[in-house]
Amino acid sequence: MSFATATNIVTIILCAAVLVQSMRMMRSLRAVRGGAIAEMVAALDTATGEARSVLCELKIALGGCVDVARPLGEAREIADELAVMIGIANASADRIAEVAGAASAGSDTAALDRAA
HSE-CB at 22 with a 13 A cutoff on CA atoms is 6
What does the pLDDT look like over 14-42, one tens digit per residue? 999 999 999 999 988 887 776 667 777 88
2 φ/ψ sector (left φ>0, alpha ψ -120 to 50, else beta): beta
In a domain, 23, yes or no: no
101 φ/ψ sector (left φ>0, alpha ψ -120 to 50, else beta): alpha
- Residue with the bigger pLDDT between 14 and 43: it is 14
What does the pLDDT look like over 101-114, one tens digit per residue? 887 776 656 555 56
Res. 48: pLDDT tops 90:
yes
In a domain, 55, yes or no: yes
Cα→Cα distances 43→31, 54, 100, Å:
16, 16, 82
What does the pLDDT read at residue 65?
A: 74
In a domain, 19, yes or no: no
In a domain, 22, yes or no: no
**Count of domains observed in the chain:** 1
In a domain, 52, yes or no: yes
Residues in the chain: 116
What SS3 class is residue 116? coil
In a domain, 80, yes or no: yes
In a domain, 26, yes or no: no
Rg (CA), the chain: 42
Residue 88 structural domain: 35-115
Q: Is the pTM of this model over 0.95?
A: no
- Residue with the bigger pLDDT between 36 and 58: it is 58
Residue 71, φ and ψ in degrees, nearest 5: -60, -30
In a domain, 93, yes or no: yes
35 φ/ψ sector (left φ>0, alpha ψ -120 to 50, else beta): left
What does the pLDDT look like over 61-90, one tens digit per residue? 887 777 777 787 888 899 899 999 999 999
